[in-house]
């Protein structure tokens, strides 16, 4: 028998083959998510730094809002909080409402935008967590099943030897190896993206509070 992984896969039982296919598919999807999230997280960090610098420049709030509308891109992060909050501020302020009512409306609008940004940052991460936690157990199930079949095959033999058991065990252990292969990158990526997401959300929260203070001063002028 050839010792290649492919040969071991084809010689394994149907259940072990099914487990390996499921784990390989989970690994492929995980890597797709990892690359997509990596690109999005980097973009979010760059956009936050860019808008933070622009926000604290000499550009006025109205000019900043108009400039954002003119750009051909979808605002994310702090820029999204700014646009939603300031548009709501202008709308309510034009109605000459009580300052406290205006600020309540602005805070509510920015909380909604913040929740949407949080959901966007954490998108697909539960799948990575599931792959990281479940893949080793799924692989272990395939291994146990394969080993059970190997020992069951000894019933028909008069003398059990290592050479008669080893091939089946080798085939079964592939499932555990594939499970770890799927789980380890998913776990590392999940922890990395959660840390990046928490940092960005902390920055967004800080920006939201600072912007609320600015608008609070603006609405109480005069």
pLDDT band at 2 (very low <50, low <70, confident <90, very high): very low
The arithmetic mean of pLDDT across residues 42-60, rounded, is: 89
Other C-beta atoms lying within 10 Å of the C-beta of residue 48 = 19
Decide if 43 contacts 73 (C-beta within 8 A): no
Please compute, for residue 205, the number of CA atoms within 13 A of its CA located in the half-sphere on the CB side. 8
The residue count for the chain: 222
How far is Cα 123 from Cα 117, in angstroms, rounded to an integer? 10
Q: Does the reported pTM lie above 0.85?
A: no
Residue 112's pLDDT is what? 94
* Burial (CB count <10 Å: 0-12, 13-18, 19+), residue 90: middle
CA 56 to chain centre: 30
pLDDT in tens, 144-181: 887 777 666 666 665 555 555 565 677 778 888 899 99
Decide if 1 contacts 160 (C-beta within 8 A): no
């Amino acid at each position: 028998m050839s010792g290649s992984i492919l040969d071991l896969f084809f010689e394994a039982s149907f259940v072990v083959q099914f487990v390996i296919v499921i784990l390989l598919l989970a690994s492929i999807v995980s890597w797709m998510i990892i690359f997509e999230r990596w690109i999005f997280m980097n973009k979010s960090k760059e956009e936050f730094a860019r808008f933070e610098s622009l926000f604290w420049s000499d550009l006025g709030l109205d000019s900043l809002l108009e400039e954002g509308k003119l750009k051909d891109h979808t605002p994310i992060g702090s820029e999204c909080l700014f646009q939603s909050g300031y548009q709501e501020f202008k709308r309510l302020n034009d109605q000459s409402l009580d300052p406290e009512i205006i600020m309540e409306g602005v805070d509510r609008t920015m909380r909604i935008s913040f929740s949407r940004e949080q959901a966007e940052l954490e998108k697909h991460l539960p799948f990575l967590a599931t792959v990281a936690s479940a893949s080793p157990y799924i692989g272990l199930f395939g291994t146990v099943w394969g080993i059970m079949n190997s020992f069951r095959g000894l019933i028909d033999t008069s003398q059990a030897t290592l050479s008669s058991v080893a091939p089946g065990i080798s085939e079964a252990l592939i499932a555990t190896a594939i499970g770890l292969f799927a789980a380890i990158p998913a776990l590392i990526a999940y922890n990395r993206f959660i840390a990046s997401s928490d940092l960005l959300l902390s920055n967004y929260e800080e920006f939201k509070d600072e912007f609320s203070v600015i608008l609070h001063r603006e609405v109480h002028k005069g």
